[in-house]
Amino acid sequence: MTAGSDLSGFDLGAYRRRLGDHGPMAPDLGTLRAILAAQAAAIPFENLDPLLARPVSLELPALAAKLLGRRRGGYCFEQNTLLAAALETIGFRVTRLAARVRWMRPPEEPEGPRTHTLLRVDLGGDVFLADAGFGGHLLAGPVRLAPGLEQALPASRVRVLLAADGFLLQAALPAGWTDLYRFTLEPQSAQDYAAGNWFTATHPKVLFTTNLLAERLTTQSRDTLFNRALTRRFADGSVRERTLADAAELGAVLEDVFAITPPADPAAIWARLG
């Protein structure tokens, strides 16, 4: 458990109901796999609050009210803070980490700040990465920290490589191995996360305040929305793409595809799209 984490008042039962899981939970690899797959399907990645210039709280009561009680999702700081609380309540040994995103960036582009979160989970003598909040390529399973080992996750194939300043996580895409993010094993405090969350949710020129992103990963499909572009990749390998025409269609897609109840009129969200 990261120093300073406070689980007082966290309702594991509400988390389990949100995930649709009522079976036994223990601090073991099977439970970790089940939780990550279930969270990717039940609690979508979305950044509607930063896009609408609304505050993003990482306090557990506020997170639970939003992600567990209001049919909403969240982005990495929210998703992985919630996940860490659930795992620690179950009895997992969790360390909060941070990463520099490389996804969709040219190799020559300078490294950005540590604006992505992930978790280290120690199980016996093994170390795993758990990440419920990488929008763009959600990961629905734990990644063993074993550099060079290719690993199959639900709807993903990944590997961790050694890097000069730590580690690099990559995913196999049709075009080849693609960088997701660079990270180290330096523990992050609640204050580190608060600073990164504030920057990511409020800076006027960052991705999440200027564009809409949503993603959901179920056993049937990986569904991704970037502004008006909806892409649905199905388990049978088929892909369907379309451009949303208006605010009414956006509202319907958020409700029906991503299981999100919008926090504002879809017209107000539509007007913010980049």
Which residues participate in catalysis according to the annotation? 76, 116, 131
For residues 123 and 171, what is the distance between their CA atoms, to the nearest angstrom?
A: 23
Q: How far is CA 261 from CA 4, 125, 198, 245, in A?
A: 33, 42, 24, 19
**Burial label, 200 (beta-carbon count in 10 A; 0-12, 13-18, 19+):** buried
Q: Is 95 left (phi over 0), alpha (psi -120 to 50) or beta?
A: beta
For residues 271 and 274, what is the distance between their CA atoms, to the nearest angstrom?
A: 9
Closest C-alpha to 196, from 131, 112, 135, 256 = 112
Q: Chain centroid to CA 27: how far? A: 21
Sign of the alpha-carbon torsion through 274, 234, 121, 83: positive
Question: Which residue blocks in the chain are alpha helix, DSSP H?
Answer: 12-19, 29-42, 48-51, 60-63, 76-90, 190-202, 207-210, 247-256, 266-270
For residues 8 and 5, what is the distance between their CA atoms, to the nearest angstrom?
A: 9
